[in-house]
Amino acid sequence: MEVFKSHTVLCRKPLLEVLTGRMPSRRPLWLMRQAGRYLPEYRRLRAEAGSFLQLCDTPRLACEATLQPMRRFDLDAAIVFADILLVARALGTKLEFRDNEGPALSPVRSEEDFLRLNSKINLSDVEAVFETISLVKRQLEDHQALIGFCGAPWTVASYMIEGGSAAERLSARKIALQRPVWFGQLVERLIEASIEYLSGQVEAGAEAIQIFDSWAGDLPESLFDELVFEPVRRIREGLMKRVGVIPVIGFARGIGAGHLQFGMRSGVNAVSVEPSVPLEWLAKEVCPRISVQGNLDPVAAVVGGEVLKRAVRRITGSLPAHSHIFNLGHGIRQETAPENIRELVETVREADGALIG
């Protein structure tokens, strides 16, 4: 940390350095779902807000939730506290989060349901996210980047069609195959909405964007191009047209060897990868072409101790710091002890000390 601090004169942000192909002052590190229920202070804040959505909709509280992990751990990026499903709500879907049940949405099951959606995103429904971003931005340290995000069209469409989290997303997969016309229009609407939404986030101060396609791995490979790569490419391009160059991380979770093609086709600056992707392949085939984010098993963070340290060192030892963003392969699990996250962060920093210092 000392060495790093002494090099921060020019406001260097490791995350942005890796995403723009510059040599980072150290390996960037942040964690998906770094804000959330594993933190006792988050649980208190959520109780104060009354509900998860109320928390997302109240910039002062959402800002606090975003900053909580930044105070505890030595992280290189904050991610705005919000949810991918806010876009579905801003398109006219009813959205609720019931305790321990996950999201519940009014389902879009037919063309008639689709036609009832708003033709454009209602930006006043997501205004709070923009305000949260501008509040957070003023409170970060010089080396910390602020990440904005949205869900990718396939993943958000799957929640809209299912009306929530459904095992294997079968209805959504059937509709993608059987009703390609209105399903395609839904994807189109989500592309447009995401461009608008992300443009607002960048204008408010987001410095990098992550696009979460959490359920990409449920699709057959034959649909990757049309339903994963192309929508993400179009969002990225539309965003650039609106706000200029902005680094994008794509997380097409579960597509295995498809990550390289995803990176090339979509034009994202980094691909975020799940824990089952082999490090050797990432080091040899992916890192030379595109930066990689990931891919620690969230369960290793639950277990902690030597198991966690070994898993962290295996990653830092395999992937070069100049083209890697340390992260989990999926979000932090609720049952994770905050102490284990401290250990994780310290282990990354120790492992890299000799490398960058």
Site for ligand CP3, rule CB under 6 A: 32-37, 46, 52, 79, 81, 83-85, 97, 102-103, 149, 165, 212, 214, 331
Which CB, 54 or 261, lies closer to ligand CP3? 54
102/220 with CB nearer ligand CP3: 102
CB 158 within 8 A of CB 215: yes
Which residue of the chain is nearest ligand CP3 when measured via CB?
A: 214
Distance in Å, CB of 209 to ligand CP3, minimum: 11
Closer to ligand CP3 by Cβ: residue 209 or 282: 209
What gap in Å lies between CA 286 and CA 94, rounded to an integer? 40
How far apart are CB 37 and ligand CP3 at their closest, in Å? 5
Nearer residue to ligand CP3 within complex by CB, 4 or 149:
149
Which among 357, 331, 230, 343 has a CA at the least distance from the CA of 275? 331
Q: 342: part of which helix (H) or strand (E)?
A: helix 338-356
Q: Which is nearer to ligand CP3, 100 or 178 (CB)?
A: 100
Smallest distance from ligand CP3 to CB 84, Å: 4
Distance CA 22, CA 116 (A): 47
Cβ distance 126 to 87 under 8 Å? yes
- Give 33 or 137: the residue with its C-beta nearer to ligand CP3: 33
Q: Label the pairing between strands 291-296 and 270-273.
A: parallel
Task: Tell me whether residue 47 or residue 257 sits nearer to ligand CP3 (CB atom).
Answer: 47
- Crossing angle of helices 180-204/230-243, nearest 10°? 40
The pair phi, psi for residue 212, each rounded to 5°, is -95, 110
Structure tokens given for 288: 């030379």
Residue 96 CA to residue 123 CA, distance in Å, equals 19
Q: How far is the CB of 168 from ligand CP3 (least distance, A)?
A: 14
Query: How far apart are alpha carbons 120 and 111 in whole angstroms?
Result: 17
Residue 128 CB, shortest distance to ligand CP3, in Å, is 14
| Active-site annotation, residues | 33, 37, 46, 83, 159
CA of 273: how far to CAs of 129, 324, 327, in Å?
26, 11, 9
Backbone angles phi, psi at 157, to 5 degrees: -60, -40
Query: Residue 244 class from Cβ within 10 Å (0-12 exposed, 13-18 middle, 19+ buried)?
Result: exposed
Say how many C-beta atoms besides its own lie within 10 A of residue 39's C-beta. Answer: 21
What are the DSSP E strand ranges found in the chain? Answer: 77-79, 95-98, 102-105, 145-151, 208-213, 248-252, 270-273, 291-296, 324-328
